[in-house]
Chain A
């Protein structure tokens, strides 16, 4: 679009025609205050904070709705504008309780800032303030009407951003208030986006409200450990406890987006059933022992089994870091001499990597002109990816195609919907051929409905369209992708996870951050070592249980569903636990393995080795260190790895495998586990 020239406060500013004045000013470094204007959401023009003088206009204009025009002369610094801002704030405060000393938002409140900068020192209103009691709409969302300034950001983010539309405004007029879709309660995603976007403390969260002050926390940006989308969540930590998660600085791939899990389901880390001491099985059940003794027990047995040429099995995790995964497989292969190593495979990444086709980033989902979603309920299982696609549709009119078994939220924005029976996904995709071939480009996302041979057929279909196509293979949990790429997979001759569970002749089985007994029976009586946060079904059957640190208690990197590598930052500690990486190192040392060859067990040292040896992982460390995301390059397709069927854990918005079972918040909402509330 052609640029126009205008003058703002005497400064010549150039901006594309149709840019909103408020944006043009911002880009020129001139702040026009605003409450209701919010980048990316529909215009509201409700708060009148953005009034400015425009030459030849008879009265003040709202900068948030006014497109710039050639020759426009704007003034934001006149006495009239200052007076308007002052008056608007005086109105906003008419019924505002000014309970900043106890309000959650105190210290990071846009209203406080605004009054401080533009407000009057005193009010002319002497009337008694209208009071309305606070309401609990759900265990997550609380609403305090008197604090609400009616900017409608919450209403819009819920309808437009989330595609849920759970909020509205009722009794419009002097007693306007925000109301939830079920009158007195919410039935929704419980994502907390509305709370986060609220400029004041009118919406507060069940986990954070009245607990602490913002300036008393440390704010640590790390990656959500729940699904595979890799959202950055900034944890608010005080006294070794997570008080909240948000991403107000929009620093991750997810911008300000977080679902209920990234925002509130970190509470599993503080669950009272967290394992805090190693356990060794004795005649009468588990006996708590010191770390030294536990490591000695494990290393002793491992060394002895290794010496007599016994048979090991190793099961890795979908949650541990790349460094941990890499070190574990190296330790298994070189230290234990076994190729029996695998993890719960939740999506067929392996086949996709072998197809050597371009892979999409999370940003591609926001920019691609067309998106095809195959065989998955994206809004339920990959909330952030669904959010990206919805934003793409809203902002760029992307065309969305769904091929699915039952209704999904993406249907609402779909150009075409194809209903299929289980197994009919590929045939369903084929019916879209003519439409898709007309698109300038396409991203295809697929779940576990497409695996093995079907992946090759899907990518062949994509290539035959004659347009650029990129792919996303959907997986569960924060580092499934990394587990594959780091080689937590059997190479030729090694056993897969189901094979290990069924073998019956294993001498030792080492399970790290996984709970295979939930899905498989274990044959035989191997020496069972389990590293986990909780006494899971598998841990209960173990000979030695080692209490592990969660993802929020360690550093390292993880790779999300789109292959984007990001850094974890240790946010706090749970005394008694150790990171999986440290546990590996301690066991290796105690076993007397060649530590030179294994390398030091610090995340940065292991990452340096990954960068040297894992194809596609020679990534700019500075970017990762600064909290950025980098997509791993094309890998070599992992030629040695053994293929095996995959199965998604089928989590919903309100479940998250084992961790989800220990998140009180996730279980407290009425939507859990996810049946009540779907599309």
Chain B
């Protein structure tokens, strides 16, 4: 069940489009912002609210890699694996992250603190290698800097 606030927010978005389905991305983000991810149940509820089939909404949800269809940790690390970062030492940074957190891509640390995901170019190639943690971009990464950065996220 969607909460009344979620419903209200989604309705607001839907009202600004000529077709309700157009609000699907916003709606998924609204749910994700409150719950951290979008469960099957939430997906079906949103689909119904917007007059779509769950399968159709799923095709939207799975198209965007920032809509999470599995539970994620309190913080999501997105590390750029595109070409500039790769040239500038992505592999080392990635391996360090994985070792430090003890997880692979797509996994969450057992304390539920971090989820690690790869992402395409973040548009900060001049300061590669780059990663984002939640909404923050971290530039010029080195293994040592990474340790300090992770400390900041509880």
Contact = CB atoms under 8 A, between A and B. Distances in A.
Interface string B48-67: 00000111111100110000
Interface stretch (A72-80, A168-176, A395-403, A586-594): A168-176
B63 A168 contact: no
Contacts of A169: 59
- Among B53, B55, B57, chain A packs the most CB atoms within 10 A around the CB of B55
- Among A155, A168, A169, A173, chain B packs the most CB atoms within 10 A around the CB of A168
B63 A179 contact: no
Nearest to B62: A170
A170 B53 contact: no
Interface in A333-358: none
B26 interface: no
Nearest to B44: A181
Interface in A166-200: 166-173, 179-181, 183
Contacts of B40: 183
A168 B43 CA distance: 13
Given A172-B63, A173-B63, A179 B58 contact: yes
Contact of A167 (B55, B62, B63): B55
B59 A172 contact: yes
A338 to B, nearest CB: 56
Contacts of B54: 168, 181
A377 B42 CA distance: 30
A159 B62 CA distance: 19
B62 A180 contact: no
Contacts of A659: none
A172 B59 CA distance: 7
Nearest to B56: A168
A166 B53 contact: yes
A165 interface: yes
A159 B47 CA distance: 14
A155 B55 CA distance: 9
A456 to B, nearest CB: 41
Which DSSP category, helix, strand, loop or mixed, fits chain B's interface?
A: helix
Contacts of A173: 63
A179 B56 CA distance: 10
A193 to B, nearest CB: 15
Contacts of B62: 170-172
B63 A166 contact: no
A171 B55 CA distance: 12
Interface in B54-105: 54-59, 62-63
A117 B148 CA distance: 62
B149 to A, nearest CB: 30
B64 to A, nearest CB: 9
A677 to B, nearest CB: 14
A180 B63 contact: no
B56 A165 contact: yes
B59 A166 contact: no
A167 B62 CA distance: 14
B33 to A, nearest CB: 22
Interface string B33-44: 000000010000
Contacts of B53: 159, 165-166, 168, 181
A179 B60 CA distance: 13
Contacts of A170: 58-59, 62
A151 to B, nearest CB: 15
B60 to A, nearest CB: 9
A181 B59 CA distance: 11
A175 to B, nearest CB: 10
Nearest to A412: B51
A10 B54 CA distance: 48
Nearest to A171: B62
B59 A180 contact: no
A45 B29 CA distance: 29
A159 B57 CA distance: 13
Contacts of B58: 168, 170, 179
Contacts of A180: 55
Contacts of A155: 55
Contacts of B63: 171-173
A12 to B, nearest CB: 40
Interface in A46-71: none
Contacts of A168: 53-59
A167 B58 CA distance: 10
A167 B53 CA distance: 9
Interface string A225-267: 0000000000000000000000000000000000000000000
Contacts of B59: 168-170, 172
B102 to A, nearest CB: 27
B16 to A, nearest CB: 25
A166 B56 CA distance: 9
B59 to A, nearest CB: 4
Contacts of B56: 159, 165, 168
A261 to B, nearest CB: 24
A155 B56 CA distance: 9
Nearest to B40: A183
Nearest to A183: B40
A180 B54 CA distance: 9
Contacts of A172: 59, 62-63
Contacts of A159: 53, 56
A89 B18 CA distance: 38
A181 B55 CA distance: 5
A166 B54 CA distance: 8
Contacts of A167: 55
A180 B53 CA distance: 11
Nearest to B64: A172
B144 to A, nearest CB: 35
A181 to B, nearest CB: 5
Contacts of B55: 155, 165-168, 179-181
Given A170-B59, A173-B63, 5 more contacts: A166-B53, A168-B55, A168-B57, A168-B59, A181-B53
Interface of A: 155, 159, 165-173, 179-181, 183
21 contacts: A155-B55, A159-B53, A159-B56, A165-B53, A165-B56, A166-B55, A167-B55, A168-B56, A168-B57, A168-B59, A169-B59, A170-B58, A170-B59, A170-B62, A171-B63, A172-B59, A172-B63, A173-B63, A179-B55, A181-B54, A183-B40
Q: Nearest 10 A-B pairs (CB), nearest first?
A: A168-B55, A165-B53, A170-B62, A172-B63, A168-B59, A169-B59, A181-B55, A171-B62, A168-B58, A168-B56
